[in-house]
Amino acid sequence: MQPVMTTTTFTLDGFRITKTLGLVRGITVRSRSIFGTIGASLQTLVGGNITLFTELCEKTRAEAFDMMLLHAEQMGANAVVGIRYDANEVMQGVTEVLCYGTAVVVAPA
């Protein structure tokens, strides 16, 4: 599935929803490595963007998004609408990231 066929809204411009297949999700749980934590701690001394954590967060969200798309494809969807993210700390230093939306079949309007 092409990322262009995903949206945070409940409609996809130029397409009409012909079938709603249901909730799809991708979930990943990540922890910081000791080296990443030390490196990020050093970055906080200088201030600004803590790139080690930024990269970890971006990679984690992308992984959850890709897993959601795979789930949607397995259900027979060609688009996902209403996409949202949620994150929770499972334990100190361990975070769950959930990407979810509604799998749909769309056709050109």
Question: Which domains does the chain possess?
Answer: 3-31+64-108 (3.30.110.70)
> At a CB cut-off of 8 Å and minimum separation 6, what does 10 contact?
81, 82, 102
More confident residue, 34 or 16: 16
Q: How confident is the model at residue 38 (pLDDT cuts 50, 70, 90)?
A: low
Task: Compute the average pLDDT of residues 66-82.
Answer: 98
Q: Which residue has the higher pLDDT, 32 or 12?
A: 12
pLDDT of residue 105: 98
Residue 57 has a pLDDT of 83
Q: List the one residue out of 36, 57, 54, 55 whose CA is nearest residue 99.
A: 57
The reported pLDDT for the residue numbered 103 is 98
Q: Give the tens place of pLDDT for each residue, 18-36.
A: 999 999 999 999 776 555 5
pTM equals 0.83
Higher per-residue pLDDT: 22 or 88? 22
How far, in Å, CA of 22 to CA of 104, rounded? 7
